[in-house]
Amino acid sequence: MLKTNIDNIANPSSGLIIIGILKGYLKHPKSFFIKTILTFKKFKKSIEMDLPKEFINSSGLIAWLYIRLKKEVGKDKAFEIIRATILCSGLAVQQANFRNVEAERTFENLVKYQKRVKNEGTTKLNKMEIIEETESKYVYKVTKCMFYEFFKYLKVPELTTIMCSIDNAIFNTYSPEKITFHRDGINNRMVDGACECMFVIENNVK
């Protein structure tokens, strides 16, 4: 019997996922991650943005892990390790947010749970505007992205692109034979210099 339901969603262990990925690249992944956790408290004290504790704990830890990794293996390798790590852990969290286990995967459910995630997840800090909502297409834009603002403040704006990749991962694996996600062209994200981030979800079932 599942211990989760629509209102009591899963809470994947991101820490275990992160250690598992780091194990593939670092000689001492557990000790590296434990030291990251132990020094994170001091790093958090340097953050002066007025943000919810849960947001700083999750996104701040990603940034601190990346900053520490850069000192160990260099910027390029650190970025790719973080990408592999956060894509896996982020996808697990989003699978829970979109109730992939508890509810049937349909276009209608995807739209419904996207709206719900907007109100209950870390993305509730973003500003979103629905542009189009029909049986065949759901289009919205984000005009304020706290991930981008937060990572830019920490001088690691490149991490925003990894969070954007999680969007691609969750939407395009939700029901890949029936639903397609894209951003209505290239460079349609704030991290690319645009004034907003586009989200286009298409129902390919006619």
Query: Based on the structure, what is the number of domains in the chain?
Result: 1
pLDDT for 206 equals 65
Q: Is residue 166 part of a domain?
A: yes
Q: Is residue 197 part of a domain?
A: yes
CA–CA distance, 5 with 176 (Å, rounded to integer): 24
Q: Is residue 85 part of a domain?
A: yes
Do residues 87 and 169 make contact, with C-beta atoms less than 8 angstroms apart?
A: yes
Q: Is residue 152 part of a domain?
A: yes
Q: Is residue 28 part of a domain?
A: yes
Residues ≥6 apart with Cβ < 8 Å to 203: 107, 135, 136, 137, 138, 178, 179
Q: What does the angle CA 20 – CA 24 – CA 29 come to, to the nearest 5 degrees?
A: 65
CATH number of domain containing 142:
3.30.1380
Task: Please list the pLDDT of the chain residue by residue as tens digits (206 residues).
Answer: 899 999 999 999 999 999 999 999 999 999 999 999 999 999 999 999 999 999 999 999 999 999 999 999 999 999 999 999 999 999 999 999 999 999 999 999 999 999 998 887 677 889 999 999 999 999 999 999 999 999 999 999 999 999 999 999 999 999 999 999 999 999 999 999 999 999 999 999 86
Radius of gyration of the chain, Cα coordinates, nearest whole angstrom: 18
Residues ≥6 apart with Cβ < 8 Å to 74: none
Do residues 102 and 6 make contact, with C-beta atoms less than 8 angstroms apart?
A: yes
Q: Is residue 51 part of a domain?
A: yes
Q: Is residue 7 part of a domain?
A: no
pLDDT for 84 equals 96
Q: Domain residues for 125?
A: 14-203
Q: Is residue 84 part of a domain?
A: yes
pLDDT for 98 equals 94
pLDDT for 119 equals 82
What is this structure's pTM?
0.91
